[in-house]
Amino acid sequence: MMTSKGSNKSIASVVTGGAGFLGSHLCDRLLAEGQYVICIDNLITGETSNIAHLLGHEHFRFINHDITNYIFIDETVNNVLHFASPASPIDYLKLPIQTLKVGSLGTHKALGLAKAKGARFLLASTSEVYGDPQVHPQPESYWGNVNPIGYRGVYDEAKRFSEAMTMAYHRYHGVDTRIARIFNTYGPRMRINDGRAIPAFMSQALRGEDVTVFGDGSQTRSVCYVDDMIEGIYRLLMSDVVEPINIGNPDEIPIVQLAKEIIELTGSNSKIVFKELPEDDPKVRQPDISKARKLLMWAPKINRKEGLKRTLEYFRQKLLVPESVK
């Protein structure tokens, strides 16, 4: 198998959901580390435009496949990184069954691949396992406050189940596993209409439309720039840390303040309008990253102003052309 130059030239990784926002950036990083990358995505929410620059790379292979079905890979595989899932409220409210299936059946199939190949497995979990938290900030030891039958439960419980399945494979089958609890992340390749705050605010402001804030805007989020997130995930993959690890930026901000910063950054005359808060929307969100600092020697480096500026440039370019055809 041909691979890039470098110390990791014999390493091959499978990335499920590799045409998505985080998955595509992860493919970039693994290739830059000299790995051979197999990207699997059925393009329900992923986009080929995110990996278009990789399609001619001799050490990159794309497979259009639904991973809730059996995954066949004939190559040697060293790592399986499971990132396949709808990941924004607008997606998992529109695709509730698919969200549950990829978190359960998809995780089972991805773990089965890792077991069969003797590969390391990394699960992309989420801060949503904490639900609407009653502990703040959220440490990994917190078990969460989740409504299992609410609209958001399809995502929250799918990820909680996937963590349980991952640990079961680790304990029962001896699979070498990692669990990344990913907090709000932003940056280039986010979909304009994916329903999350930063793309919504940026696209509305750039179009001169009213910027929509749900509730009174006092609910908080802690947003991490994608380059920092990928660094944390890669360090976790390369570590020997089995227990779940929070990866995110602890710099907490009210949503209404985030909207104001984006309006100011764009130079827009947009006004903020308030709409009813969706059911079970978390009131606060802030990671306790003490474990990541200690065990991974990781902390975010890119401040919000710089990260938003980089992201805004992507959205300026994106809005000038039609949305990519999947």
284-296: string of b/e by CB count within 10 Å (b at 16+)?
bbbbbbebbeeeb
Nearest CA to 142 out of 153, 132, 130 is that of 130
How far apart are the C-alpha atoms of 50 and 18, rounded to whole Å?
9
Nearest CA to 155 out of 247, 90, 212 is that of 90
How far apart are the C-alpha atoms of 23 and 37, rounded to whole Å?
11
The separation between the first and the last C-alpha atoms of the chain, rounded to the nearest angstrom, is 29
Rg (CA), the chain: 19
Q: Please give the order of strands across the beta sheet that includes 36-41.
A: 60-64, 36-41, 12-16, 79-82, 120-126, 177-182, 245-247
SS3 content of the chain, % helix, strand, coil (to 5): 40, 20, 45
206-222: string of b/e by CB count within 10 Å (b at 16+)?
beeeebebeeebebbbb
How far apart are the C-alpha atoms of 81 and 79, rounded to whole Å?
6
29-65: string of b/e by CB count within 10 Å (b at 16+)?
bbbebbbbbbbbbbebbbbbbbbeebeeeebbbbbeb
- Active-site positions read 155
Peptide bond into 137 cis (omega under 30): yes
Residue 97's CB is within 10 A of a number of other CB atoms, namely 9
Q: Which two tokens stand for residue 246?
A: 């929070």
